[in-house]
């Protein structure tokens, strides 16, 4: 199985559905250590992405992801819009067609680089980076060991979910949550949680 246009579009549509379903939870997490808009930010962004994908059909999996990123940048005002927007644009730009597991791993790594270039967060700062970093590492090592796309994506999803849970004891050092200082400790980071959703939907989509 390769990562083709159909799979790219199915993944993005699955993210939109997952964001819709988990909106309240993401908002609740962001209410604890932010301003309570992470769920609505992503919901608005991915609703616009669905509309964009219903328009002129992007050609190739990279173009689907690039269009997703561009739409998120233009529609989401919060920190997560530009961060995820740049990430999807970078994944899209790095994705060859067709892409096997190793190429997808490198494209996802390019997405992480884009998040870090824009947000300047290090692992351990309680951000998107804390879920995306272990997901890329797991995807890469699974692909290197000869895993199929669904197997590598499953390993990445589990690593992202662990990474998101592991943000609970961390003190936020980037973004709005950092204003809380030590009071950010004891809560799961909203952005790391939505990153885990993004990788979980990739695993579900490739396995379907
Ligand atoms: P805002 O903080 O502007 O309200 P959101 O609520 O949509 O935006 O997104 C908040 C999430 O963005 C945080 O939980 C965190 O994971 C992520 N985030 C914030 N700043 C950064 C950064 N510099 N690098 C990576 N992720 C970040
Ligand atoms: Mg917020």
Segment 42-94, tens digit of pLDDT: 999 999 999 999 999 888 999 999 999 999 999 998 999 999 999 999 999 99
Mind listing the pLDDT tens digit for each residue in 91-114?
999 999 889 999 999 999 999 999
Distance of CA 118 to the CA centre of its chain: 15
Q: Which ligand is nearest to the CA of 42?
A: 1
Mind listing the pLDDT tens digit for each residue in 133-182?
999 999 999 999 999 999 999 999 999 999 999 999 999 999 999 999 99
Distance separating alpha carbons of residues 120 and 84, to the nearest angstrom: 14
Name 99's bridge partners.
3
Q: Are 188 and 164 in contact (CB under 8 A)?
A: yes
Reported pTM: 0.97
Distance separating alpha carbons of residues 19 and 179, to the nearest angstrom: 26
Q: Which residues line ligand 1 (CB under 6 A)?
A: 30, 34-35, 37-38, 41, 78-80, 83, 115, 119-121, 127-129, 174-176, 189-192
How many Cα atoms occupy the beta-carbon half-sphere of 77 within 13 Å?
Answer: 3
192 CA: nearest ligand 1 atom? 16
Cα dist from 80 to 115, 128, 139, whole Å: 10, 9, 23
Q: Which residue puts its alpha carbon closest to atom 22 of ligand 1?
A: 119
List CB-based neighbours of ion ligand 2 within 5 Å: 30, 34-35, 37-38
How many Cα atoms occupy the beta-carbon half-sphere of 87 within 13 Å?
Answer: 21
Q: 178 CA to middle of ligand 1, Å?
A: 10
Q: Which residue puts its alpha carbon closest to atom 24 of ligand 1?
A: 119
Q: 181 CA to middle of ligand 2, Å?
A: 16
Distance separating alpha carbons of residues 139 and 162, to the nearest angstrom: 14
CATH classification of the domain holding 81: 1.25.40.340
Q: How many separate domains does the chain show?
A: 1
Nearest to 168 by CA among 191, 181, 184: 184
Q: 175 CA to middle of ligand 1, Å?
A: 5
Three-state DSSP state, 95: coil
Q: 101 CA to middle of ligand 1, Å?
A: 29
Sequence-separated (6 or more) residues with CB below 8 Å from residue 127: 119, 121, 172, 174, 175, 189, 191, 192
pLDDT at 28 over 90: yes
Q: Which domain holds residue 154?
A: 5-207
């Amino acid at each position: 199985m390769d990562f083709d246009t159909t799979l790219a579009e199915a993944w993005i549509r699955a993210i939109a559905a997952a964001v819709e379903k988990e909106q309240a939870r993401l908002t609740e997490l962001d209410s604890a250590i932010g301003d309570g808009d992470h769920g609505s930010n992503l919901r608005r962004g991915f609703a616009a992405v669905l509309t964009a994908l219903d328009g002129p059909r992007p050609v190739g999996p990279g173009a689907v992801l690039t269009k997703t990123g561009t739409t998120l940048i233009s529609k989401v005002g919060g920190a997560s819009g530009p961060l995820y927007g740049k990430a999807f644009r970078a994944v899209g730009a790095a994705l060859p067609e067709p892409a096997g597991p190793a190429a997808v791993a490198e494209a996802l790594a390019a997405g992480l680089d884009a998040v870090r270039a824009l947000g300047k967060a290090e692992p351990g700062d309680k951000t998107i980076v804390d879920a995306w970093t272990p997901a890329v590492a797991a995807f890469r090592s699974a692909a290197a060991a000869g895993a199929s796309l669904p197997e590598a994506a499953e390993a990445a999803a589990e690593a992202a979910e662990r990474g998101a849970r592991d943000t609970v004891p961390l003190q936020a050092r980037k973004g709005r949550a950092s204003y809380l200082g030590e009071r950010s400790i004891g809560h799961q980071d909203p952005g790391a949680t939505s990153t885990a959703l993004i990788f979980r939907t990739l695993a579900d989509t490739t396995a379907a």
